[in-house]
Structure 1
Amino acid sequence: MIWKPNETIQGGKYLIEEVLGVGGFGVTYRAKDVSLNKFVAIKTANDLIQTQKNFSQQQDKFVQEAFRLAKCRHAHIVEVKDVCREGELWCMVMEYITGGNLEQYTIKKQVLSAEEALLHIRQVGAALTYIHQQGLIHRDVKPSNIMLRTDTAEAVLIDFGLAREFVDGKIQTHTNARTESYAPIEQYQIRAKRGAYTDVYALAATFYFLLTGIQPLPAQFRWQGAKLIPPKKHNPHLSDLLNQGIIQGMILEPEERPQSVQEWLEIISVTELQQSDQKYSRLTELLAVRQWERADEETYDLILKMSRRVKEGWLDYPATQNLSCEVLQIIDRLWLNYSDGRFGFSVQRKIWQELGGKIDYSTECLLGERLGWRVENNWLAHDSLNFSLDAVLGHFPWNGHLPQGKLKELGLVGSYSRWWSCLILSRCQECNI
């Protein structure tokens, strides 16, 4: 059964518009949620699968995927809005992402800059870290399974059709389904140990493609003796250290690879910091030992230096608008890496946008409540913050919320300094952070 344009399902709730794509199992439609007047994507079994003798078993796996994905709530994982049944077919209703996939985007641009590629790799890395914490591995990370939201250019991981539960270090039986060039050697074996390192390989291979425009040599050929061409051979502008970081993530033997996405991302981050000057070294050191209060102060000092406002000791609108995107990206990345994705400008910006993304006092108050800066209609003093990893999501950086003594010294009162938060987050939005 194939749905036709203008056909409705679920009692008229969804209006089918067109087929977006067909894969080995599923067909995905663009449809409209009639009551909300919004586009959605609906995935179900394609007509070929429907005719197979084992269709019932195939569909059971699809339903498992749908409910598995529905439990995953993360900014960089496609959102499942509904799981329903239409006749004999189970359907998964998802958010509709209009920006195309990362493979198409890279081909159009030929190669991505290291900065842009790193941004997307970190976003997908955060999504993978999240699903690994749920006891799942994705098993099909590749550029065509990463979509880009048009409005924010954020990367979103899709297609959990091969996702499976795993027990780290235990030999398990999985299907050997895979995508050549991105699958590690253990996915060529039905029984093998699998873990987060399985997705590390695929993420590193994806990074390889983004920076070169070329798909890396499949693992099976490397296992037989062929050599992986280093990405720097294809892209001479790539640094030696970043080149080596990608190769580390694509080591054939699973036990010799970085064992988690976070571990590999830290290798890449250290690599990039070694390329830049050392102005971020103090912040890196403080975050590495989880000295959140001192790291917060160092962050504010860095922003003042970069905006040339050290003498004044506070920020104004022109200063925040002139902040370099690169500066904000690096600071955000450091906070994300060392806080397990809990703290950083990008975390705060997403919450700010959920609240309307305005620069006004009402939004400041709502933001303060969500980020734990404001309790029972009162703004917390600097020394009342929760300087631990248990703080609420997005609690840091404090975005220039100075200690009370410093505020008095500068002659600033009330919530004036808190206005900088929305200004900086507005700048982060412009920088796609």
Structure 2
Amino acid sequence: MPYCLNPSCQKPNNPEGGRFCMNCGKNLPLKGLYEAIALIGQGGMGRAFQAKDLGRLGHPCAIKQFLPQFQEAELMKKAIALFESEAAQLKALGSHPQIPELIAYFEEDGCLYLVQELIDGENLYIELQHNGIFSESQIYELLVNILPVLQFIHDRQVIHRDIKPDNIIRRSLTSPELVQDEGKNNCQSPIPNSPQNNFVLVDFGAAKAFTTDTANRTGTLIGSAEYIAPEQARGKAVPQSDLYSLGVTCIYLLTGISPFDLYDDESDRWIWQANLQTSISSHLARILDHLLERAISNRYRSANEVLHDLQSLAINADINAGSLGVSYIPLGNSPQIEELIEALDLGQWQEGDRLTNEIILALVNKNRIAQLTPNDIEQISCDIWIAIDQAWMKSSNNRFGWSTQQQIWRNLGGRLIYEENNYWEFAKVYEKFADRVGWRKPRWLNLEFSPKIWRKYENLTFAIAAPQGHLPSLFFWEGFNLIDPVFYRLAVCRQK
């Protein structure tokens, strides 16, 4: 039902189809285009409404109405500037799937309005209240999703200045934008079943532009006190200030404790790790501590640098089953699986590779890997996929196996669903993947830019000293287009 936006209206709800409020007579659709239908939030600066964009066939949108509760002229001036800043920054940033789209900004009947994309979902503060503290994998998921957005805005000379759980929304799984994105990309994130665009950064009212020569003079104190960096508290925000706030957000989500209580003033240090309810890996703790450095020079220089650490540590550090999402379970009594386990435990890597291919082909009654289809992959039970993967991971101490290969594949930008119209993009990532796991070699040794050639199968390294992810080589020659369906199947199976 249309909702009247007159702040003084005593009966704002109106029957469907009306153009004027039955109580106060105000025009219901703003500019004749944007019709509020429900109040979804209000505070000292104004109100927010769920709405319909009548110019886009009733497409959902959000309306922000500026209604500051200030009497002082100076405070009112600053509040207006912040409201206008949000529109300016959203307009300057342009289109990004993880930033609300600015639809319109205008004044009507003495009120300022901002119309933007409606994000269907809960912010992380509410999610924490409903579901409890976050796990390590959830924090990793958040970082790999939100860091590219920060890099995007920083590249455009914008500092958000108010990164906190309330301003990060996880899209609902039924969100049209998320469903559409899953259909196209089907989960590019390093975390199983976490689409790349399922976190949205909102509330750019505190955002401010910066330039190289004014990066240390970005204005007065703005932001939420619990999350702001020391330099921002002095009115000198820089891009790394957003990274600090993201680190504080992460330790709050991991502990559920106010950031004020996670810092010990007496010893002048963070004590968040002492307040964890469950342990996390040392490499994630190191990354968070680096984000939380009080001195800017000791902090990460960019969001991309944090992402690089996340990716390199996930591959090269001591990868354990928990960080890969693998939980070891008792294997079945299949004779073929037992034979595979025995071969791998004895370090017979080439025999294990042959048996892996043999088991998969026998299950779908095919003679060659090239004959396999994504549908065949789907028909093989999860128990088999998990059992084979576990056998490789356990025998190689996580050096070989599909989980390790999947981590590498995703970190290189590989998608989990192969699409023919993206063949060349897929092939490019596949070549990088083959180089990383050692399936290709330089044509001329010791030349950095030498073209790469594929190794013959018999020239693979069937030894524990082989590059990480070198084995199994099920997709090596004939089944390269199966690499993403298998990884996707494995991700689905882990969620069951």
Per the normalisation by structure 1, the TM-score is: 0.67
Cα deviation, 1:319-377, whole Å, max 9, x if unaligned, reads 26867897687346512xxxxxxx4428xx7xxxxxxxxx9xxxx56556xx768xxxx
**Do the aligned partners of 2:374 and 2:482 also contact (CA within 8 Å) in 1?**
no
Q: Structure 1 372/241 Cα, relative in aligned 2: closer, same or farther at 3 Å?
A: closer
User: Equivalents in 1 of 2:280, 2:358: separation in Å?
Assistant: 29
Structure 2 counterpart of 1:32: 52
SS at match of 1:9: coil
Structure 2 counterpart of 1:162: 206
User: Equivalents in 1 of 2:494, 2:155: separation in Å?
Assistant: 29
**Do the aligned partners of 2:128 and 2:134 also contact (CA within 8 Å) in 1?**
yes
What is the RMSD of the two structures over their aligned residues, measured on CA atoms? 4.3
Cα deviation, 1:67-108, whole Å, max 9, x if unaligned, reads 311333222222222223323333221221221111111222
Amino acid at match of 1:345: R
User: Equivalents in 1 of 2:239, 2:73: separation in Å?
Assistant: 34
SS at match of 1:83: strand
Structure 1 position 22, deviation (Å): 2.3
Structure 1 counterpart of 2:291: 249
Sequence identity (%): 22
Per the normalisation by structure 2, the TM-score is: 0.59
List aligned pairs for 1:140-289, cutoff 5 A: 140-151=162-173, 152=178, 154-168=198-212, 170-190=215-235, 192=236, 194-217=237-260, 225-231=267-273, 233-273=275-315, 274-276=317-319
Structure 1 counterpart of 2:40: 20
Q: Structure 1 148/195 Cα, relative in aligned 2: closer, same or farther at 3 Å?
A: same
Structure 2 counterpart of 1:288: none
Amino acid at match of 2:122: G
List aligned pairs for 1:25-424, cutoff 5 A: 25-34=45-54, 35-49=56-70, 52-54=72-74, 55=76, 58-70=79-91, 71-151=93-173, 152=178, 154-168=198-212, 170-190=215-235, 192=236, 194-217=237-260, 225-231=267-273, 233-273=275-315, 274-276=317-319, 312=369, 316-319=374-377, 330-331=407-408, 333-335=410-412, 343-345=413-415, 364=419, 367=422
Amino acid at match of 1:217: F
**Do the aligned partners of 1:185 and 1:223 also contact (CA within 8 Å) in 2?**
no
User: Equivalents in 2 of 1:181, 1:329: separation in Å?
Assistant: 37
User: Equivalents in 1 of 2:13, 2:376: separation in Å?
Assistant: 50
Amino acid at match of 2:142: H
Cα deviation, 1:275-300, whole Å, max 9, x if unaligned, reads 4259x9xxxxxxxxxxxxxxxxxxxx
SS at match of 2:121: coil
**Do the aligned partners of 1:182 and 1:216 also contact (CA within 8 Å) in 2?**
yes
SS at match of 1:107: helix
Amino acid at match of 2:105: V
Q: Structure 1 331/96 Cα, relative in aligned 2: closer, same or farther at 3 Å?
A: farther
Q: Structure 1 307/111 Cα, relative in aligned 2: closer, same or farther at 3 Å?
A: farther
Q: Structure 1 309/211 Cα, relative in aligned 2: closer, same or farther at 3 Å?
A: farther
Structure 1 position 260, deviation (Å): 1.0
Structure 1 counterpart of 2:30: 10
Structure 1 position 228, deviation (Å): 1.6
**Do the aligned partners of 2:373 and 2:482 also contact (CA within 8 Å) in 1?**
no
Structure 1 position 60, deviation (Å): 3.9
Amino acid at match of 1:254: I
User: Equivalents in 2 of 1:182, 1:26: separation in Å?
Assistant: 23
Aligned length: 352
User: Equivalents in 2 of 1:235, 1:271: separation in Å?
Assistant: 23
Note the residue ranges of structure 2 that are not aligned, 5 or more in a row: 1-5, 15-20, 22-27, 179-193, 324-352, 362-367, 387-401, 433-453, 458-475
User: Equivalents in 2 of 1:419, 1:306: separation in Å?
Assistant: 13
Note the residue ranges of structure 1 that are not aligned, 5 or more in a row: 281-301, 336-342, 350-358, 374-381, 389-402
**Larger radius of gyration, structure 1 or 2?**
2
**Do the aligned partners of 2:226 and 2:260 also contact (CA within 8 Å) in 1?**
yes
User: Equivalents in 2 of 1:263, 1:189: separation in Å?
Assistant: 25
Q: Structure 1 387/69 Cα, relative in aligned 2: closer, same or farther at 3 Å?
A: farther
